[in-house]
Structure 1
Amino acid sequence: MPEIPEMEIYRDYLNKWVKGKEIKKVKVLRVKSVNMESTAFCQSVMGKLIRAITRRGKYIIFHLDDGHFLLTHMMLDGRMFLLPLTNQKNSPEFKEIMSEILEGKAEDLRQRIKGLPGKPSVVFILNDDSILFFCSLTLGYLHYLRQDELESKLGELGSDPLDSQFKALEFTRLIKGKRGMIKPWLMNPKNIAGVGNAYSNEALFRAGILPTRLISAISDADSVALFNALVTILQDSIRLGGDMEEPFAPWDDFTGGYNPQFQVYERTGEPCLNCKTVIKKSEVGGRNAFYCPHCQK
């Protein structure tokens, strides 16, 4: 599932390539991915200018010029893909792709467009004739919201670890007195927004804390170490390209560059890069936890 780094990379790309453009046409290919009847959704979104794109936790928010917002969450399999067909509107390829989009032939699009990361759920055709695909929104979604609806949805989230106002001291105060194991708490978006399985495993490893450690057994020093580890790892992942293998656009050779940097995540049975102890995997809070039994206590 995309976490903070992957969504931050999306936000950066979208601001560079989509911000300031008009949504000229819309096609909903999976009706359950939007929060309105598909015709009403298309009518609401079409003709709107995208003023800005921001991120909150794992959410991407498109700010539209009518005062509404498009809120998207990728969940497990969702991906975005930009096909830059600018200045190609008279080419046979563009006409064929446009025809298949408008006729709702999602499977044909997957065969035709190299790199498309899944079956398109919603498609935006922008005013420069580039095409933004929201793919595989089986669990994910794209919702058209008023400001009060957006604030209500985002109001459920905890602090974002990359928020410059969120410091180690506040993190330490936040977990003090809480019950349960640290890894499920860290992944709960009501506590910390945007941290999932991959980066919670990595932060706990770097801080030397077992995923099963009870929060009541975490000292203030351990809490500060965990916060600093989490922030550093998230920033490093953003700088190196995040974890996703699927590119944002045909020209994108940056996305996924952090994948080789994982120390424990999905390295079950491999030697710890610090001490050579075999990396273990167990289920914690319904999710896989990867850890080194020697380096983490």
Structure 2
Amino acid sequence: MPELPEVEVSRQGISPHLSNQQLVKVIARQRQLRWYVPDEVLAQLNQPILSVTRRAKYLLIQLPQGDIIVHLGMSGHLKVLSADTPATKHDHIDLLLSSGMALRLNDTRRFGAVLWQHKGEVHPLLASLGPEPLSDAFNPAQLTQALAKRGSAVKLVLMDNQVVVGVGNIYANEALFKAGILPTRPAKSLTSAEINALVPVVKDTLAAAIKQGGTTLKDFSQADGKPGYFAQQLLVYGRGGQPCVTCSTTLNEIRLGQRSTVFCPQCQR
């Protein structure tokens, strides 16, 4: 599944092609994605695209009357191509632009979403989200309060979108390794010093992934078709059973919250 850096890279890739364009028409070849594509999306004819923003893993294509919300799900990806490019099997949604180009959503598994948010309203999927990890709202004081009474594993809390958005499995593994914190530790057991160290590590890890173009996983590619390169820098994720890059101890791999969790039993406490 594309994580926050991959979604942000997609936003950066498509934004120059959409900004200051007219949305001429929305074509839905398949409306039954994770949720049914609402009529309001298809009704957006000849509307100026004001900007393309991101909230957590959701892309918001901003129009005068509201926002088209796009989520890539497990296997979705976006490409900007000529509007007359023949559609392939899993090309479900096209946003036709006044430039003669189209923003096309391809989603093999149909776990993605194309939704609508009226201007001045907040869609229920966005209403309870925590702070953006790269914003000032995600800080040691905020994280301290969020962890204070949580007895579950710190990795699971860090992946809770009500605590902070977008710290998915890959980046939670990486950040906890860099901060020297065992992912299985009860969240409330972290000290002030550990929280003060963890917050900037999370920010730096995500920022580095965005800079490198996102992590190349099974289904993700940038809008221009180029893959991300952050996978070349992964220190623990996907490396269970291999030596730690710091101390050469064999990395342990366990299942935590049904997700692969890799850590160094020597470097992480």
Instruction: Give the TM-score normalised by the residue count of structure 2.
Output: 0.90
Is the 2:41–2:115 contact (alpha carbons within 8 Å) kept by the matching residues of 1? no
Which consecutive residues of structure 1, in runs of 5 or more, have no partner in the other structure? 108-118
Assess, with a 3 A threshold, how the Cα gap between structure 1 residues 165 and 183 changes in structure 2: closer, same or farther.
Answer: closer
Query: 2:119 — aligned with what?
Result: 147
Displacement of 1:262:
0.6
Is the 1:6–1:243 contact (alpha carbons within 8 Å) kept by the matching residues of 2? yes
Using the TM superposition, name which of 182-191 and 1-10 deviates more: 1-10
User: Going by fraction, where is helix more abundant, 1 or 2?
Assistant: 1
Q: Aligned equivalents of 1:121 and 1:229: distance in 2?
A: 38
Query: 2:191 — aligned with what?
Result: 219
User: Is the counterpart of residue 54 in structure 1 residue 25 in structure 2?
Assistant: no
- 1:88-108 Cα offsets, whole Å, 9 max, x none, are x8xxxx4xx3xx44xxxx32x
Query: 1:4 — aligned with what?
Result: 4
Query: 1:247 — aligned with what?
Result: 221
Q: Aligned equivalents of 1:150 and 1:140: distance in 2?
A: 19
Number of aligned residue pairs:
266
Is the 2:41–2:68 contact (alpha carbons within 8 Å) kept by the matching residues of 1? no
Query: 1:230 — aligned with what?
Result: 202
Q: Aligned equivalents of 1:162 and 1:242: distance in 2?
A: 15
User: Is the counterpart of residue 293 in structure 1 residue 259 in structure 2?
Assistant: no
Work out which of the two has the higher radius of gyration on C-alpha atoms and give 1 or 2.
1
Which consecutive residues of structure 2, in runs of 5 or more, have no partner in the other structure? none
SS in structure 1 opposite 2:133? coil
Q: Give the residue type in structure 1 aligned to 2:233.
A: Q
Q: Aligned equivalents of 1:22 and 1:182: distance in 2?
A: 45
Is the 1:82–1:248 contact (alpha carbons within 8 Å) kept by the matching residues of 2? no
Q: Aligned equivalents of 2:41 and 2:194: distance in 1?
A: 50
Q: Aligned equivalents of 2:221 and 2:37: distance in 1?
A: 30
Fraction of identical pairs, as percent: 28
Q: Aligned equivalents of 1:263 and 1:37: distance in 2?
A: 39
Q: Aligned equivalents of 2:151 and 2:212: distance in 1?
A: 35
Q: Give the residue type in structure 1 aligned to 2:181.
A: I
- 1:75-95 Cα offsets, whole Å, 9 max, x none, are 221211111x3xxx8xxxx4x
User: Going by fraction, where is strand more abundant, 1 or 2?
Assistant: 2
Is the 2:52–2:61 contact (alpha carbons within 8 Å) kept by the matching residues of 1? yes
Instruction: Give the TM-score normalised by the residue count of structure 1.
Output: 0.82
Q: Provide runs of 4+ in structure 1 moved above 3 Å.
A: 34-38, 40-43, 244-247
Is the 2:131–2:137 contact (alpha carbons within 8 Å) kept by the matching residues of 1? no
Q: Aligned equivalents of 2:251 and 2:209: distance in 1?
A: 21
Aligned pair partner of 1:172 in 144, 152, 164: 144
Query: 1:125 — aligned with what?
Result: 96
SS in structure 2 opposite 1:32? coil
SS in structure 2 opposite 1:233? helix
